[in-house]
Amino acid sequence: MKKIITYGTFDLLHYGHINLLRRAKEQGDYLIVALSTDEFNWNEKQKKCYFEFEKRKQLLESIRYVDLVIPEESWDQKVNDIKEYKVDKFVMGDDWVGKFDFIKSETDAEVIYLPRTPEISTTQIKKDLESKGKN
């Protein structure tokens, strides 16, 4: 069985997220999603989520491509997660190209950067909602 892992915040879940999860799952048999906790988002990414961790986790668990959701609590846990869950492929969106290439040499997992869905992002949704609120 080929195991895949990806990481993210997955706030305001949208079809770009679904596309990424579907394409990640196509890389193997079992997809693990490491979901950024509220504390990690705030302390490390300076992001305030619309939905709290448990709600985002429930949404991800309801998606047929996702087999397991685990918490992401630090930038440094990726190598340990890959070893602990015996992951074969590490998948991220192509906005992270090059940032995680070190994982291949530290774990032997293949590193794959998938193209993002160009016309949608959580950042854009938040900007659109904010501008509508000002009208």
- Show which residues are catalytic: 45, 47
Please classify residue 123 by burial: count the beta carbons closer than 10 Å to its beta carbon, then call 0-12 exposed, 13-18 middle and 19+ buried: exposed
Of the candidates 95, 22, 14, which has an alpha carbon nearest to the alpha carbon of residue 50? 14
- Whose CA is closest to 96, among 121, 79, 113? 113
Q: How far apart are CA 25 and CA 47, in angstroms?
A: 27
